[in-house]
Amino acid sequence: MNVHGTHYRTIWLKNDDDAVVQIIDQRPLPHKFVVEDLTTVSDVARAIKDMHIRGAGLVGATAGYGMYLAALHAPKNAPEAFTAQLIAAGETLKATRPTAVNLEWAVQRQLDAIAAAGDDISAKIAAAKTTAQTIADEDAEFCRRIGEHGVTLIEEISRRKNGAPVNILTHCNAGWLAFVDYGTATAPIYAAHDRGIPVHVWVDETRPRNQGARITAWELNQHGVPHTVIVDNVGGHLMQHGMVDMVIVGTDRTLYTGDVANKIGTYLKALAAHDNGVPFYVALPSSSFDWMKRDGVKEIPIEQRDATEVKTINGQYGDDVVSVLLTPEDSPAANFAFDVTPARLVTALITERGICDASEDGVLGLYPEKRK
C-alpha cells in the first residue's frame, strides 16, 4: 500500500544488501514513519516480542525472514551443526508470541524447506531465502484475494442500501501493516473503496496498545477511506441504533472448527453483533488456520503481556512520542492480549479461497486436502 504516495510492503530485503531485513517500526506510528534494519535472529525475536512489527501475517513473514538470517549466520562447515542452530533459532522465534499460529507455521515451513535442500549449506541458505520471500509474497497475494472475495459482501449491502455508505466496524489492526500488504479485514474495504462503493469504517481504538486508533486509522487515512475512531465500548451502542451494517475483523488463530482467537475485546463485539443481528465476518489467510485444535476457549494459548501496556499510554507531545502513567503507580494490572470468539457467533470466514461457514464442514469444504 502507499505511504505518502510511495508503495511499501511491511517487510523486505534491503535493496543493496540482502543480509539486511527491513521493516516498518510500528511503535511510533502514526506520529513518525521509521524503517528499521534487522540483521540477526535476536533482532528479529526482539522486533516480534516488543511489537516493532505485529499482526498474525506479518509475525509469520518476519519469522520466515528470521530463519533466513539464522541460516546466513549458522556454522558453514558441518550440516549437523547448521541444522541444530536453525532448530534453536526456530525455538527462539516461536517463544516470542504464543497466540498467532502463523509464527510456528512459518518456522516449520522454513525447517522443512531447509531440510529438503540437501546437505549443501549454500543450497540450504538459498532455500531459506527463497522460502522467506515466498511466504511474504504468498501472504500479500492471499490478502489481495481475500479482498476480492470479501468485497462481494460489501457490494451486496451497498445495493440493499441504494448506494448509501456501508458502515463497517473493525477491531484492532488487521490491515496491511499486520500483513505484508493489503491486510485481511481491510482488504475488502480497500477493494470496495477503490471500486467507488461508499464505505465508512468505525475503528475501535483497541486498548491497551491502540492498534486501531494508531494504525488502522493511519492506514485508512493514507488510502483516503472515510473512518471514525471510537473507544472500545461504543460498538454495542452503534449496533443498537442501526449504525453498523457489518463487522469485519482479522484473527491470530482460527481453528478448523471455526473458533476464532483475535485481539482482546473481539468476543464482546461478536456478542453485541449477534444480539443486534449484525453480520460478523472474520477474514484470514490459510496460514492463520490451526488444523489440530478443536476447542478454542480450552486449547488456544492466550498471550499475557506486561502490565505497563495497560497502566500507561503513548502519544505525541511536541515533537516526541512519550508515555504517560494512567493508573495509580502501585495498582496491579492484567494484560490478556487475545480472546476467543466461538464459531456460533461468526457469520462466515473470508479466506483466499472464498467465503465459508465458520464450521468444520465449511472450512474443510474449502480446504479438502486437510481432511484427516
Point out the residues that are catalytic: 252
What x-and-dash track marks residues 291-330 binding ligand MRU by CB under 6 A?
----------------------------------------
CA 24 to chain centre: 14
Complex with ligand MRU: residue 337 or 345, whichever CB lies closer:
337
Distance CA(184)–CA(319), nearest Å, equals 32
Distance CA(302)–CA(300), nearest Å, equals 6
Among 10, 83, 167, 251, binds ligand MRU (CB under 6 A): 251
Site for ligand MRU in 54-73 (CB under 6 A): 54-56
Cell 478443536 maps to which residue?
294
# chain residues binding ligand MRU, by CB under 6 A: 15
Complex with ligand MRU: residue 21 or 185, whichever CB lies closer:
185
Distance CA(182)–CA(190), nearest Å, equals 8
Complex with ligand MRU: residue 127 or 249, whichever CB lies closer:
249
Distance CA(242)–CA(305), nearest Å, equals 35
Whether residue 285 has a cis bond before it, omega within 30° of 0: no
Q: Work out how close the CB of 47 gets to ligand MRU at its nearest, in angstroms, rounded to a whole number.
A: 12
Q: Work out how close the CB of 250 gets to ligand MRU at its nearest, in angstroms, rounded to a whole number.
A: 3
DSSP 23-45: EEE-TTTTT--EEEEE-SHHHHH
Site for ligand MRU in 154-173 (CB under 6 A): 172-173
Among 127, 128, 174, 180, binds ligand MRU (CB under 6 A): 174
Distance CA(348)–CA(357), nearest Å, equals 5
Among 213, 247, 249, 270, binds ligand MRU (CB under 6 A): 249
Pairing of strands 280-283, 320-325: unpaired
Does 178 sit near ligand MRU (CB under 6 A)?
yes
**Beta bridge mates, 227:** 201
- DSSP one-letter code for 181: S
Q: Work out how close the CB of 137 gets to ligand MRU at its nearest, in angstroms, rounded to a whole number.
A: 18
Q: Work out how close the CB of 293 gets to ligand MRU at its nearest, in angstroms, rounded to a whole number.
A: 17
Distance CA(24)–CA(70), nearest Å, equals 21
**Quick one: which segment of 53-61, 117-125, 159-167, 343-351 binds ligand MRU (CB under 6 A)?**
53-61
Nearest residue to ligand MRU, scored by beta-carbon proximity: 250
59: enclosing H helix or E strand: helix 56-73
Distance CA(172)–CA(7), nearest Å, equals 23
Complex with ligand MRU: residue 55 or 90, whichever CB lies closer:
55
Complex with ligand MRU: residue 47 or 86, whichever CB lies closer:
47
Over the Cα atoms of the chain, what is R_g? 20
Complex with ligand MRU: residue 163 or 315, whichever CB lies closer:
315
What x-and-dash track marks residues 256-295 binding ligand MRU by CB under 6 A?
------xx--------------------------------
Among candidates 276, 289, 265, which has minimal Cα distance to 347? 276
Q: List residues near ligand MRU by CB under 6 A.
A: 54-56, 172-174, 178, 211, 249-252, 262-263, 337
